[in-house]
């Protein structure tokens, strides 16, 4: 089976073609113009990760929602659970960009952090 993955590491966006064996193993990998593409495509196939970006409610802020993100990528398969876990979160204004909103989010070893400053309404 062939699997095509667009490398997003740099703007060249190489299309990397993986030949996948019956047990999911990579038999060959072509189309990457550099070693970073090989690393990226291999990880995308074996253990894809994404940075979660979303918003949470904020109490007393000048806006009703605070943009947040994980400070490191998390397993792609955990994104839905992570989104659901943010649905009921409420933080208290003021908040500074980079403030930790949830430490060790979902026991994944990453923090959920504020993506911007948000002042308290006077």
According to CB under 6 A, which residues from 9 to 68 bind ligand SF4?
9-10, 12-14, 32-34, 36-37
Return phi, psi of residue 94, to 5°. Answer: -85, 160
Q: C-beta of 116: minimal distance to ligand SF4 in Å?
A: 29
Q: C-beta of 18: minimal distance to ligand SF4 in Å?
A: 13
Tell me which residue of 110, 86, 112 sits closest to 100, measured CA to CA: 112
E strands in 23-120:
26-30, 49-50, 53-59, 65-70, 74-75, 90-92, 100-102, 112-114
Q: C-beta of 11: minimal distance to ligand SF4 in Å?
A: 7
Residue number, 13 or 104, with CB nearest to ligand SF4: 13
Q: Which positions lie near ligand SF4, rule CB under 6 A?
A: 7, 9-10, 12-14, 32-34, 36-37
């Amino acid at each position: 089976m062939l699997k095509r993955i667009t490398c997003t590491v740099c703007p060249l966006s190489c299309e990397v073609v993986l030949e996948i064996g019956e047990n999911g193993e990579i038999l060959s990998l072509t189309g990457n113009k550099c070693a970073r593409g090989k690393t990226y495509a291999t990880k995308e196939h074996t253990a894809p990760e994404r940075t979660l970006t979303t918003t949470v409610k904020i109490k007393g802020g000048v806006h009703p929602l605070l943009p947040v993100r994980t400070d490191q990528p998390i397993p792609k398969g955990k994104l839905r659970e992570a989104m659901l876990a943010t649905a009921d979160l409420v933080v208290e204004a003021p908040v500074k960009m980079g403030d930790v909103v949830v430490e060790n989010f979902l026991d994944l070893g990453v923090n959920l952090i504020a993506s911007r400053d948000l002042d308290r309404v006077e």
